[in-house]
Structure 1
Amino acid sequence: MSAGDSRENEEKKGKTGRSWRRRLALFTLKWGFVGGIWAGFLGLIFVAWCAYDLPDVSKLNEIKRRSSVSLVAGDGSLIASYGDLYGSAVALKDLPAYLPQAVIATEDRRFYSHFGLDLRGLLRAFYVNFTQGRLVQGGSSITQQLAKNIFLTPERSIHRKGQEVLLALWLEQNFTKDQILELYLNRVYFGAGTYGVDAASRKYFGHPATEATLFESAMLAGMLKAPSRYNPLNDKKLARDRATLVLQNMVVAEYIAPDVADAAATMTAPSVSAEARGQIGQFFADWVLDQVSSYVGYTEQDLVVETTLDPKAQRLAEADLAKTIAELGPKQNASQAALVSMTPGGAVKAMVGGVSYRDSQFNRATQALRQPGSAFKAFVFLAAFEAGYGPGSIFNDTPIRIGKWQPGNYNDKFYGEVNLREAFARSLNSVAVQLSEQVGRKNVIAAAQRLGITSPIGNDASIALGTSETTLLEMTTAYAVFANQGKGVWPYAIERITTRDGQLLYERGGSGPGRVASGSAVNAMLDVMASVVDWGTGKKAKLEGWPVYGKTGTSQNFRDAWFVGLTADLVTGVWVGNDNGAPMDKVTGGSLPVVIWHDFMSGALADLPPRDVPRGGGALVASAGAPTELTPEVAQPPAAPEKQPEESGIGALLDTILGNGGGSGSEKNAAPAKPQKEKKPAYQLREDEGRD
């Protein structure tokens, strides 16, 4: 091929290439223009779709709020309030400069430079979320957050996001940056029902936002990401850690120097406000709040609920319980406790559902189902007394066998012939089981249910030892019957409910199930319960000048320890254990629970004159299946004591033989000289014995 031909071919190729590029450019331009028109058209449709049902922007000056409920103690003092709390509207110029700076540094660093949408922030959030495969970051500007908080719902959808963008642009066109930031700070949610920096500062730190310190400002800014999680009432350590991160954000944004941030984080950490620190009865308040709607229904009116709580008794209960568990609990592997105290008529005066409400809001007084152990024996003995037995009735405390089950006493000690007074005071398992079987389990169950036990009760021989679970509130309510002359008790906490302007919606008129136990049987129960405190397993519950009655209880392997005791004015139940059911180190009903009970009752009754529980008469209660004569379901045990068994105790027997985790109700008992029958023993248990 000649050189001329080569050049001619090159020219043809060049022309062909240029022609192809021109056609591609024209094609791209044409369809790009068409695509742009369609994109613009679709964009206009999307904008119209979002704008069609935009909320009324006049809502900017409205404050939506939930109705509030205020709980008031018996002395008129405020226990707790629920609902939306707003502080004073504060001007941006009146706030310390570092408070809005902390918010900007954390929530929207380019707030003063963007037009309402932080495009860089949106792109960054999109990239991070895409690479992580989940929602990790949000790209909303402060203006967008304000639009969402004021006008929109928390719904996550493209439609709502589009409306948020449109409203943010509207806000930017109608307000200055400072006005938008001021509106935001006065309207944003900070957790615990607080809206706006002033309400939050007062709630958490006890002073207005205008007096907030640098670290407090950082903590407030840190709450905005997750108010319920990062507020100091929920988790102070988490709130501190989050505030420290906010301080570092302020350093990066060049609002403060690194040394200032370090000093603030280490030296000026805020404490929770005095009001929050002094709050009492939080378990009680939660329990009451759950009941309000059942009395007055659901209403949008602000309510004032007058309760039965005694602030003095409540403070004593919280302090004594926490002190005992803190000082003695670690040595004996006991981490939790609960207390309920009520009048004989059922008015709850104090309730503690755990060692620390801040650490756990689970109410162990009303929600936890635990084995009551030998505290359940009160129902066994009540059924027996109603069947014709008396405190002086003689039984043979000796090893017995029911089927494959052989219950034993604590340390496998048996006492031979004993009366029921001694058997109850010593908490002898063998006698309790014999009594339950002779009276009839169905009658024991009926007695427990009549007195207020609503939790399911199993129909097996071990129920006499408290293997069926129940709550502390139920047990305390049941024991209140013994202080109420046999009349049934319904525990209550609400005396009156009114609206904020004084309109009466509910007032307690007094009610109850009437007589649920005979007067003679109740008097017999007081007889045997007095022996528990006078010389038996609960002798540490003695109160100077006060006649005291009660019963200890310990479930198998020391998982639960109870003491329920009563005087003429208060009936109080105490439970000690671990949330995970882990065994304690030989904690019995006669040890930590009695210590808590004694300390609390000593203070709660200090201003009252000592008096005895009133006795009452009355015929035996008429109920379906109530026995009129002895109806033994198993053969009588041998009259003569047998050789002591070699098993380690009732807890091990139940674990091995029943294999169902049932409790034993075993109690620690002493081995003093054998008492005389038919009358109260004149001796005391040794100091190293009878701890239950």
Structure 2
Amino acid sequence: MLNPFRKRKSRVPRATFFLAVDAWIDSTLYEAGFRARERWENITIFFRRFRVKGWRRGLIELLSEGFTMGTAGSIVLLALALPAFEETAKDWRSQGDYAVTFLDRYGNEIGQRGIIQRDSVPVDEIPDHVVKAVLATEDRRFFEHFGIDFIGLARALSENVRANSVVQGGSTLTQQLAKNLFLTNERSMERKIKEAYLALWLEWNLTKKEILQLYLDRAYLGGGTFGIAAASDFYFNKGVKELTLAEAAMIAGLFKAPGNYAPHINLPAARGRANVVLSNMVDAGFMTEGQVLSARLHPATSVDRAGAETPDYYLDWAFEEVKKIAPRNAPRSLVARTTLDMDLQKAAEESLEFHLRQHGQAYRVTEGAMVLLETNGAVRAIVGGRDYARSQFNRATRALRQTGSSFKPYVYTAAMEAGFTPDSIISDAPINWGGWMPRNYGRGYAGRVSLAAALIRSYNTVPVRLAKEHLSIPVIVEKTKAMGVESELNGHKTMVLGTSGMTVMDQATGYLTLANGGFTGSRHGVTQLVTHSGEVVYDFSRDAPEPRRTVTEQAMAAMNSIMVQIPETGTARRAALQGIRSAGKTGTAQAYRDAWYVGYTGNYLAAVWLGNDDFSPTRNMTGGSVPAMIWQRVMAYAHQKVELKPIPGIDKPFLDTAPGTVVAEAGEGPDEPARPSVLSPRTTGFLHELARAFREAPALELPPAPEALSSL
């Protein structure tokens, strides 16, 4: 039998042990808390010495809040600037090693692009008065700031307030270079933030001399010239090292607005601007009044360049095309024969400017762009904006704008390939797609309609119903890409009504598939690349891939049978050509921000866009209004004295009943000058071959002339 007292004795020491541990923990926690409170009290007593009262406390609070808001703002600004830094990963230093001379379709020289490095004069070799003229006008504190000049910005704001207008800019030379290298001319706060950050990036990665060199080499100075060396040769027929002070002041005045102050366009304005530059040099302390007096009394006179017009937007695009198609082993100095037709280029520019002057203020629209192609794919004209001198941003090839209803032909083409026909019946009724309920322009519904009627009247619910119930967004995206559209489509369900951004060139390329019988891949702007010695390194007919069929013949014919009715009875009646069959589609984006008309005949295709650079809405402008009128004016000119071709799938190219080939008579009024007769492409090619044969033929040795003749 166990003794109960033995068990009790064994429990006493164990209980005592746990009580001791508990007491130790309690005492340790108490002592730690006591010491922590003691230390906190000491810290509090220490910081009480720094407490301020009265107005000082208000100042400290204000600075503290300012620091907090500044930190938050910096994070936001950095987040906005991050996309811009992606541009710095590209080869932004290179302007393209190519130096290209461009010819139009008839062999006439129309301009150059690229920079030959020997023509880029190092800053150390540029005369001192030339550099001072530029810095005094553009950024006199260039060597003192670090990309952003807050002192100069404050001075510019003060002068602008005093003059009650914008008389001085606050951007530094580095900020202007950042815009030229990486950004566009878009007027937005986001762009200015990116510009500021990129200016700091340039200052961090380049020396002041390198920044100044790039600025002098890349700035557009009017007349199709980029860089001070090219401007010196164009305006004064001399090298930059030979410029006088008066000539340097005139060129320095071009950096602000070459379109306003180009001496070959407006010599009095150029001289007035040069006088301002001379005053800036005196104000900056770079020269004295006595040193600039001779330049004031004897202003510069530029070389007469009257009539020297260059299709700069076209050349910018063609230069990029050259860099894509030139063989790797090709020489860097080339001659490019383009598809440009200067008559059509001028007609396109005139039509856009004419209608914007007539209707721009009423519709509150300021900008436009156009691409004109022959239906064989040759790009005949590109208008990237109203004034290249004011803005070199090519709105025809780079601006992504919402297409509105002009996107619907891609949806209907996919539907035709899926088995639908123009007579297929579909319901134009309210539809709900995941909470999205699109409505028609007139807010009404037509009920059961044919696909042809739905596209002609541009009903919104029908393409949405096709995409949701019969096709799919991936199918429509795939078909749009196959038709030659290169812009990135957003792939959202609203895309079927044109919410995805596309360029004017993409629109022209996509519609070209329907105008070219269902084939894609024929668009081109360069027919040949030739060395200066005459060697052909690229020939479009030889080296370009063959066009590929991307739309079946049946679907193409069905689409064209619908599209020809839109200018006749649909939304594009203002685009109708007298006696000529045409096809096309209007488009109006959300809030009237963008207005389109894309149309074609059997001969030509043109895409027209109107809108504002800042994406502000127009005053209720639709694609069937001014864009259609611009299209009609240039097309009426283009079809004069040409043999009309039928639209693929359409029997006749004309609207009247007269048999045989007709010559278009539209556009013979006083506002539409008649198009001059031009040689056919076959005749032009024959003459070029004949000229080449004469150049390559050995020189003939003529017998010596008789004495009677040699004495004359």
1:340 maps to what in 2? 371
Distance 1:583 1:554, change over 3 A: same
Q: How much does 1:463 deviate?
A: 2.2
Preserved CA contact (<8 Å) 2:402 2:498: yes
Q: How much does 1:413 deviate?
A: 2.1
Alignment partners' CA distance in 2, 1:600 and 1:359: 24
Match of 1:287 among 309, 317, 320: 317
Alignment partners' CA distance in 2, 1:230 and 1:460: 42
Distance 1:400 1:129, change over 3 A: closer
Alignment partners' CA distance in 2, 1:539 and 1:190: 41
Q: How much does 1:426 deviate?
A: 0.7
Alignment of 1:293-312 (within 5 A): 293-294=323-324, 295-297=326-328, 301-312=332-343
2:612 maps to what in 1? 578
Match of 2:487 among 433, 440, 455: 455
Distance 1:517 1:231, change over 3 A: closer
User: Which structure's relative contact order is higher, taking Cα pairs within 8 Å and 6+ residues apart?
Assistant: 1
Match of 1:406 among 433, 437, 444: 437
Is 2:342 the partner of 1:316? no
Q: How much does 1:362 deviate?
A: 1.1
Alignment partners' CA distance in 2, 1:398 and 1:351: 40
Distance 1:219 1:422, change over 3 A: farther
Alignment partners' CA distance in 2, 1:231 and 1:586: 32
Distance 1:299 1:227, change over 3 A: farther
Q: How much does 1:352 deviate?
A: 1.0
Is 2:524 the partner of 1:488? no
Alignment partners' CA distance in 1, 2:592 and 2:578: 30
1:221 maps to what in 2? 248
Distance 1:134 1:403, change over 3 A: closer
Q: How much does 1:451 deviate?
A: 0.7
- SS, match of residue 517 in structure 1: coil
Is 2:533 the partner of 1:507? no
- SS, match of residue 624 in structure 2: coil
Distance 1:417 1:67, change over 3 A: closer
- SS, match of residue 566 in structure 2: helix
Alignment partners' CA distance in 1, 2:475 and 2:407: 13
1:556 maps to what in 2? 590
Q: How much does 1:365 deviate?
A: 1.2
- 1:603-660 CA distances to partner (integer Å, 9 max, x unpaired)? 122121333213399xxxxxxxxxxxxxxxxxxxxxxxxxxxxxxxxxxxxxxxxxxx
Q: Which moved more, 1:240-249 or 1:565-574?
A: 240-249
Alignment of 1:538-687 (within 5 A): 538-615=572-649
Preserved CA contact (<8 Å) 1:379 1:447: yes
Distance 1:223 1:542, change over 3 A: same
Match of 1:443 among 469, 472, 475: 475
TM-score (ref. length: structure 1): 0.59
Q: How much does 1:220 deviate?
A: 2.0
Alignment partners' CA distance in 2, 1:358 and 1:315: 16
Q: How much does 1:103 deviate?
A: 6.8
Distance 1:412 1:505, change over 3 A: same
Distance 1:322 1:219, change over 3 A: farther
- 1:548-594 CA distances to partner (integer Å, 9 max, x unpaired)? 00001111111111111011111111111111211111111101111
- SS, match of residue 520 in structure 2: coil
Q: How much does 1:424 deviate?
A: 0.6
Alignment partners' CA distance in 1, 2:260 and 2:312: 13
Match of 2:290 among 244, 249, 254: 254
| Amino acid in the other structure paired with 2:310 | I
1:689 maps to what in 2? none
Preserved CA contact (<8 Å) 2:253 2:270: no
Distance 1:193 1:84, change over 3 A: farther
1:430 maps to what in 2? 461
| Amino acid in the other structure paired with 2:556 | V
Q: How much does 1:255 deviate?
A: 6.3
| Amino acid in the other structure paired with 1:229 | F
Alignment of 1:47-446 (within 5 A): 68-82=99-113, 83=115, 192=225, 200=231, 203-204=234-235, 220-222=247-249, 229=255, 232=258, 240-246=272-278, 252-254=288-290, 261=296, 274=305, 278-294=308-324, 295-297=326-328, 301-441=332-472, 442-446=474-478
Distance 1:330 1:504, change over 3 A: same
Q: Structure 2 unaligned runs (5+)?
A: 1-96, 120-126, 153-171, 173-205, 211-218, 263-268, 652-712
Distance 1:616 1:297, change over 3 A: farther
Preserved CA contact (<8 Å) 2:253 2:261: no
Distance 1:372 1:501, change over 3 A: same
Distance 1:293 1:609, change over 3 A: closer
Alignment partners' CA distance in 2, 1:455 and 1:125: 42
Distance 1:135 1:203, change over 3 A: farther
Q: How much does 1:410 deviate?
A: 0.8
Alignment partners' CA distance in 2, 1:133 and 1:458: 39
Q: Structure 1 unaligned runs (5+)?
A: 1-65, 88-99, 109-123, 138-154, 161-188, 618-692
- Identical positions, percent: 31
Alignment partners' CA distance in 1, 2:130 and 2:403: 53
| Amino acid in the other structure paired with 1:587 | M
Alpha-carbon RMSD: 4.4
Alignment partners' CA distance in 1, 2:280 and 2:490: 60
1:475 maps to what in 2? 507
1:40 maps to what in 2? none
- SS, match of residue 442 in structure 2: helix
Q: How much does 1:404 deviate?
A: 1.3
Preserved CA contact (<8 Å) 1:445 1:457: yes
Alignment partners' CA distance in 2, 1:248 and 1:545: 61
Q: Which moved more, 1:240-249 or 1:361-370?
A: 240-249
Q: How much does 1:438 deviate?
A: 2.8
Preserved CA contact (<8 Å) 1:576 1:593: yes
Distance 1:219 1:417, change over 3 A: farther
- SS, match of residue 357 in structure 2: helix
Alignment partners' CA distance in 2, 1:461 and 1:79: 44
TM-score (ref. length: structure 2): 0.58
2:654 maps to what in 1? none
Alignment partners' CA distance in 2, 1:104 and 1:611: 58
Q: How much does 1:443 deviate?
A: 2.4
Distance 1:129 1:486, change over 3 A: closer
- 1:145-190 CA distances to partner (integer Å, 9 max, x unpaired)? xxxxxxxxxx9699x9xxxxxxxxxxxxxxxxxxxxxxxxxxxx99
Preserved CA contact (<8 Å) 2:433 2:468: no
